[in-house]
Amino acid sequence: MAGKLDLDAAVVARARELAARAGQPVVDLARSHTTVSVERAVLRLAGVRGADPDGIPWVNRLVDAVRADVGLEHGVAVPVFHALAGSGVEDVTVLAQKAAAGSVRFSLPSGKAATTARRLAKRATAAGLRTVDRRRAERDRMIKRYGDPRQRPWIYLIVATGDIHEDIPQAQAAARAGADVIAVIRSTGQSLLDYVPEGATREGFAGTYATQENFRLMRAALDETSKEVGRYVRLTNYASGLCMPEIATLAGLERLDMMLNDSMYGILFRDINPIRTFVDQRFSRQIHARAGIVINTGEDNYLTTADAVDAAHTVTVSQLLNEFFAHEAGLADWQLGLGHAFEINPDLPDSFRLELAHALLARELFPEAPLKWMPPTKHMTGDVFRGNLLDGFFNLAGALTGQGILLVGMMTEAVVTPWLSDRDIALQNVRYVLNGAGNLHEDFTPGPFIRGRADQVLSEAIGLLERIVDDGLLNAIADGTFGIMKRPADRGKGLDGVVATGADYYNPVSEEL
């Protein structure tokens, strides 16, 4: 989309330079630490599968056993594969079962034994990464065979019943009705579980558990529907929370196409320790880069707790930081579904013009990124007629500003879990606006009000980035800069799962990625 805001290129470059300076200390921190979930992700790629009778994955049991014997500062790969080589066991899952029973102990080898363990670990994890590569190649073949949606933005619709076997027909019905991306929203509270549930799940709360089997079942169902409707239907889930690296790995193994993966969402809205989150998100984004997965970031959430006008610049700052962290982890621009939202109080004079200014600023700051445009939620009142009209304005703003991914707004938002009929009405709204105004951005020229507001937000973002560079990003998060949530770096869930790496730390997956 051609630039229409006449943004000063030097000012934009300054914003990116500041974001890099603010983000680099966090990257350095992530490079010098590991977490229990990063180590579990390594072992999942090496082939550990299944769970014990209590539902705790064997990979958790194995990492806990290694940590108890030798710690995690060396990584799990060497002690695990040293034990495998000396135990006579050929399967790493069987080794995990024996470790859980106390019949295997772990030690740190040296010399030739350490070299052998590294070689075995690299061979095993390389097999897992080859599976990720095959699944990416499958996606490319299916897109070539069935085609992509004929227009942008892609229509993104949420399905969530708690029961994967109920989700599947609803997702297929949504795709037939025009949805291009199906998001299976995750069960409430899963982000705070320090393990990934196993198998197909039929009981969730306001969502369905993210498990490898649920991923497999939904992907297979949408592949059938892709053939039926003549376009590749994409699948989204959530790589966030305490198991972010593992869920990203499972998504790569089962060919998901998009994943919710924000650098600060878990910190702000789930009170997960900041260091844990930044370490986990870097590894998870390396996996997403390898798998060809588009990430969706969560800046829209800031505007549900903070005022969408006063805090607009914090969204821009977060987008710039997310871009820096994503590029550092290997993601390309086409994989950056940076988030923003239509959350200004509709009773505010010129609210729609302000929404256009914010949306157009995001579009022009990140011209090669798909962007994820989120519908109104905060000011949905339960009046479904007003809500449907507000969603229509949201859809029109998306068309006018050339957004890439448009999440379907529901007139029953925040009132009830939508019925199929609610989704159908919402999809009718989207189709009407996009069919009637889908290329209106070609004719839309913003006036001085919109350009002035965009300049103001960008200027405020630069001012905030300058303060973050001086004070540090972790301190800014602790002070409540984003979403008015105060999250100190020495507190929060999952801190006990963070470990500073030693000089001999070895992670064959990070090395390869």
DSSP secondary structure letter of residue 376: P
Helix (H, G, I), strand (E, B) or coil at 184: strand
6 flagged as catalytic: no
**Nearest to residue 251, comparing CAs of 276, 287, 224?**
287
156 flagged as catalytic: no
Identify whether the C-beta of residue 449 lies closer than 8 Å to the C-beta of residue 353.
yes
Pairing status of strand 154-159 against strand 181-184 = parallel
Q: Which two tokens stand for residue 461?
A: 């973002």
Q: Which of 156, 209, 265, 505 does the annotation list as catalytic?
A: 265
For residues 35 and 56, give the distance between their C-alpha atoms in angstroms, rounded to a whole number. 18
Q: Which of 300, 302, 505, 506 does the annotation list as catalytic?
A: 300
Number of other residues whose CB lies within 10 A of the CB of residue 425: 16
**Nearest to residue 221, comparing CAs of 187, 259, 255?**
255
Residue 232 C-beta-side C-alpha neighbours within 13 Å: 16
Identify whether the C-beta of residue 458 lies closer than 8 Å to the C-beta of residue 316.
yes
Q: What burial letters (b/e) apply to 203-237, b meaning 16+ CB within 10 Å?
A: ebeebbbbbbbbbbbbbebbbebbeebebbbbbbb
**Nearest to residue 430, comparing CAs of 20, 155, 186, 83?**
155
490 flagged as catalytic: no
DSSP 406-423: EEPP-TTTTTSPPPHHHH
Number of other residues whose CB lies within 10 A of the CB of residue 422: 18
Query: Which amino acid does the sequence have at 2?
Result: A
Q: Please give the helix or strand (H or E) that residue 341 lies within, else none.
A: strand 339-341
For residues 257 and 259, give the distance between their C-alpha atoms in angstroms, rounded to a whole number. 7
Number of other residues whose CB lies within 10 A of the CB of residue 340: 28
Q: Which of 195, 209, 280, 372 does the annotation list as catalytic?
A: 372
Phi, psi of 358 (to 5 degrees): -65, -45
Strand partners, 184: 159
Q: Would you call 385 exposed, middle or buried from its count of C-beta atoms within 10 A (0-12, 13-18, 19+)?
A: exposed
CA R_g for the chain: 23
Residues 6+ away with beta carbon under 8 Å from 123: none
3-state secondary structure 379-407: CCCCCHHHHHHHHHHHHHHHHHCCCCEEE
DSSP 438-504: TTGGGT----HHHHHHHHHHHHHHHHHHHHHHHH-HHHHHHTTTTTT----TT-SBTGGGEEE--TT
Q: Which residues are catalytic?
A: 265, 300, 372
